[in-house]
Structure 1
Amino acid sequence: MKIKSLYSDFQVTENPNTLDTAPGQFSFYCLSKTGQTTLDAFRQLQAAWGYHNDQLSFGGLKDRHAVTIQYFTIWNGPKKDYTLGPLEIKYLGTRTVPYRSSDIQSNHFEVIIRDLPRAAKADIEQSVREVQQVGCPNYFDDQRFGSVGPDKRFIAKEIISGNSEAALKLALIGEYEHDRAGAKREKQILKEHWGDWQKIQGLLSKSRDIRVFRYLTQRRSDFLGAMELLRPELQGLYFSAYQSYIWNRTLSYWLEANLPEEARSSISTRLKDLAAPRRLPENYQAEWKTFELPYPSARLKPLATESWVEPLKKVMAEEGFPLEQMKTGVRKLFFSKGVRKASMEPQGLKISFAKDENHPERIRLQIGFDLPPGSYATMILKRILNKHASSTHLPEISSE
């Protein structure tokens, strides 16, 4: 099975609540791109137009390995189009408020899976029927855990456990699949000279983490304070990754506790296999469609009667500390509050099969569906492809 043969095999289109414009200070644009991340596209546009980051507002990140369409605003931005290679910007008018994630109604996905065996057709059709009937768990998928290296250690867990130096080491020298050459060289220097912050300052004077090295030169053992000097967007990733991991496992245990094995399927992720319903007993159907699972943290004060309390306790026992200890002890480093819907129902889910023109005797599958913001399209693909996707790395596409 081939997932990423062509960029055009993944098409993601953001559907805003409205495209209406009105006289205002926020210039409104449509961004179409191929083979770039959203942030790469904005860096290219910023170099051309010279706006400040504070002027930019957008709804979510779209995948690199796809053809994508999304929307954004720039405060007092230029009233013109921009095109360079696979990047195309269309000026739509102005708005009175910036464009944000709350302006996204849904994201539409069109995905082509190639090089499938003909025997997979019946399994996939059955999985589609099941998803149409009971939906899919609204799990966070692998792209949420980009800050977790091959050893599967979480930076946030090290902080909770009081291992602030280990946490900083993971943040600064952890090895990741997509590290570029410059990042690898910097990490090698840090490995060789860890603790000699004066020397590291000299060797890495142009590093984006130079403030961290300067701080540790003065306060050699305050690794937690140094963590606070890392880029804010990275700090957020470290804590959301661990919180999302615990949330996933809690929901999976909830499903295992409430569904017999024959009524469950499994979804493979890089960190853990997770349960998914194939069918639901009648007495669980209403609860499943409305079930909201809170984000775990020490600030969460669950009632003993909540159905997810025991699954969460089981996860925390495996992690080695109670929920009450899931805190950082530092004001600037924290876990989010809130709830997340446990299930997602792809709207307009359609599939079609055709002969794969690139692979004789094999077939290709086209899948189309809409998801609300924050849900991961890869979860739908994994659930539908089921055993055919268990050993295949799916591209990082989400509805965020």
Structure 2
Amino acid sequence: MPDQAVLKQRPQDFIVREAMVVELTEPADAAWRYLLLRKSGYTTMEAIRLIAERLDLPTGEVTYGGLKDEDGVTEQLVAVPARVPLPALGAEGWRVADQADRWLHLHHHGYGAEPLAIGRLEGNGFRITVRNLDPDRARRLGELRKHTLFFLNYYDTQRFGVPGGPKRTHLVGQAMLAGDWDTALRELAGLRAPESPQAAQWRGPAEEFFRTLDPRNASFYLAAQASFDWNAALRRAVDDSCAPQTSTVELDGLEYRYAERPLAVLATASDLPYAKYTFTDGTAQARTSARPTIVQTSVSLTPAAPDELNPGRSRIGLGFFLPSGSYATAAVRQLLGLIPGAEADAPVPTAPELTAGEAS
């Protein structure tokens, strides 16, 4: 069997908890109620739409600070107007959806004066199980116990599409920025995203469809294009700083460039400009911020253990914290590259194969 690490073979293999500190007030003085959203099988935007529907609210009145993928168990804060009555939230919370593989629960967190907004998030904590590892390689990883990791801060492939779907969200954003709304609508219809069926059935002017979306949703596609451009800039920085000790890898049709000594990038590009978009009244507006090229984190690793889902293979556990906007899968992919394969003289890979549950 090839040494292909597997993430997210089960949702509980990928646990994410958002870190956001909000100022709390007395209920009588509050304009907003903060809720802890625990979910699996839903994107944040799907969850927001479902909560708004159940509470008979416009989606814009359910606010959040960050996006969490559907393929894991995730926890984050959301806010709803304090005036809105909610079902009684007991010890088990409000089970908005409760299927075996697709569930969404809400728990009371507190009251405050302000809604939540993108940009207020401090970061995310991760607890991850990596499966399907060669036993010897897993043993050596586990023996690290604690490791300070510096990794190239790429937007990973999930930024550009839903699990199992084509990684082309950036093409929707690209067409939106060019004013080519017919192409944007056609690309969106083929993404298998939650709004793809509505896009496929739309019969009016294509531009009007995007006006019907929650502006935060439309902005996501513009952000995907900005992320695609930023990844290209980081690839160029790796070439400029680290050549010839670089390697190019194609992941889900997207190109990534890795280096044996990625810290060399800091000498020429400690950060790169990134365009942040909002979509208001059908118009894209951008502002520029700086995104670091290298991220540092401290990774805790558990000893290797037999992988009960993949006989003859091993698993390890990882725990770490990342600042907002950095991708755990990008960190894990580069962490795994620290350990050579089973052969004693094998070179250290810079981007080992990493799948997200396809081996299950």
The equivalences for 1:290-305 within 5 A come to 291-295=270-274
Provide the C-alpha distance between the structure 1 equivalents of 2:121 and 2:272, rounded to a whole number of angstroms: 22
Match of residue 115, structure 1, among 119, 126, 132: 132
Pairing partner for 2:304 from 348, 353, 378: 353
1:303-382 alignment, distance < 5 Å: 332-382=283-333
In proportion to residue count, which structure has more strand? 2
Q: Distance in 2 between matches of 1:83 and 1:151?
A: 33
SS at match of 2:291: strand
Q: Do residues 83 (structure 1) and 95 (structure 2) align?
A: yes
State the AA in 2 paired with 1:394.
Answer: A
More helix by share: 1
Rounded Cα–Cα distance in structure 2 between residues aligned with 1:17 and 1:154: 35
CA distance, structure 1, for counterparts of residue 77 and residue 115 of structure 2: 11
* Aligned mates of 2:351, 2:265 — CA distance in 1: 27
- Check if 1:8 corresponds to 2:12: yes
Matched, 1:48 2:54: yes
AA in 2 matched with 1:88:
H
Once the two structures are superposed, the pairs formed by residues 117-266 of structure 1 within 5 Å of their partners are 117-121=134-138, 124=141, 132-133=148-149, 135-146=150-161, 149=166, 154-157=171-174, 168-172=182-186, 176=190, 178=192, 183=197, 187=200, 207=201, 209-212=202-205, 229=211, 231=213, 232-233=215-216, 235-262=218-245, 264=246
Q: Aligned partners of 1:26 and 1:296: how far apart in 2?
A: 30
Contact (CA 8 Å) 1:21, 1:92: kept in 2 or not? Answer: no
Q: Distance in 2 between matches of 1:53 and 1:182?
A: 18
- Residue 205 of structure 2 aligns to a residue whose secondary structure is helix
Given the superposition, is the C-alpha separation of residues 31 and 21 from structure 1 closer, same or farther in structure 2, using an over 3 Å criterion?
farther
- Over the residues paired in the alignment, what is the CA RMSD in angstroms? 3.9
Over residues 75-109 of structure 1, what are the superposed CA-to-partner deviations in whole Å (9 max), with x where a residue is unaligned? 22336422242332112331121233444322111
8 A Cα contact 1:73 1:99, kept in partner: yes
Structure 1: give runs of 5+ residues left out of the alignment.
Answer: 188-206, 214-224, 298-329, 396-400
Q: If you compute each CA radius of gyration, which structure gives the higher value, 1 or 2?
A: 1
> Contact between 1:378 and 1:394, CA under 8 Å: does it hold in 2?
no
Shift, 1:267, TM fit: 5.8
Tell me if 1:94 matches 2:111.
yes
TM-score for the superposition, normalised by structure 2: 0.73
- Aligned partner of residue 346 in structure 1, secondary structure: strand
Aligned length: 322
User: Does the aligned pair in 2 maintain the 1:57–1:98 contact within 8 Å?
Assistant: yes
The aligned amino acid for 2:234 is: L
1:197-246 deviations in whole A, cap 9, x for unaligned?
xxxxxxxxxx5x45426xxxxxxxxxxx6686463445433432222212
Aligned-residue offset at 1:364: 0.7
Structure 2 residue aligned with 1:304:
none
SS of equivalent to 1:338: strand
1:339-390 per-position Cα deviation (integer Å, ceiling 9, x unaligned)? 2121212244434421112333210121111111111111112212345975
Q: Give TM-score, length-normalised by structure 1.
A: 0.67
The structural deviation recorded for 1:12 is 0.6
Q: Report the equivalent of 1:309.
A: none
Other structure's SS at 1:254 match: helix
Contact (CA 8 Å) 1:36, 1:64: kept in 2 or not? yes
Q: Matched residues, percent identical?
A: 20
Q: Which residue of 2 aligns with 1:316?
A: none
| Gap change, CA 1:332 and 1:104, over 3 Å in 2 | closer
Q: 1:293 to 1:111 in 2, by over 3 A?
A: same
- Aligned partner of 2:341 in structure 1 is none
Deviations 1:154-199 (A, max 9, x none): 3454577x7x55x523423566453689829x74xxxxxxxxxxxx
Distance in 2, Cα, partners of 1:71 & 1:181: 23
